[in-house]
Amino acid sequence: MKMKYYMILIGVIFIGCDARQEANGFILDKETRKPLDSVAIGKGKKDDGNPFHVRMYSNKDGSFHYTSIGGSNDVELYFSKTEYKTIKIEYTSSHRPDTVYLENVFH
């Protein structure tokens, strides 16, 4: 019985070590500075068929709000949209850009 409580305590300690990962802002066309909706936002490359581990999309006004739980507050996000170059941005305690610019591949 003691072992069961010991394992529960260890589990609670590990869960408590996770940090909230957060990033938010706006996604704009690099040239026109207009908001981009439906930009796929993901964390961590997995494979070519499914490039994002976690996926969400920007809103009509280009805004996004990403939250997750991870080992640290730092998070690496990928931004992708058809006809635009996919980019990676690292959000750290010292670098948290609030605007993301995507470059159209045809310009």
Question: How much of the chain exceeds pLDDT 70, in percent?
Answer: 73
Q: What mean pLDDT, rounded, does the chain reach?
A: 81
User: Is the torsion defined by CA of 94, 78, 100, 23 positive or negative?
Assistant: negative
- The separation between CA 62 and the C-alpha centre of its own chain, rounded to angstroms, equals 15
The predicted model gives 3-19 an average pLDDT of 58
Q: What is residue 40's predicted lDDT score, i.e. its pLDDT?
A: 92
* Residue 15, φ and ψ in degrees, nearest 5: -65, -40
Q: Residue with structure tokens 């300690």?
A: 13
Q: What is the CATH number of domain 20-102?
A: 2.60.40.10
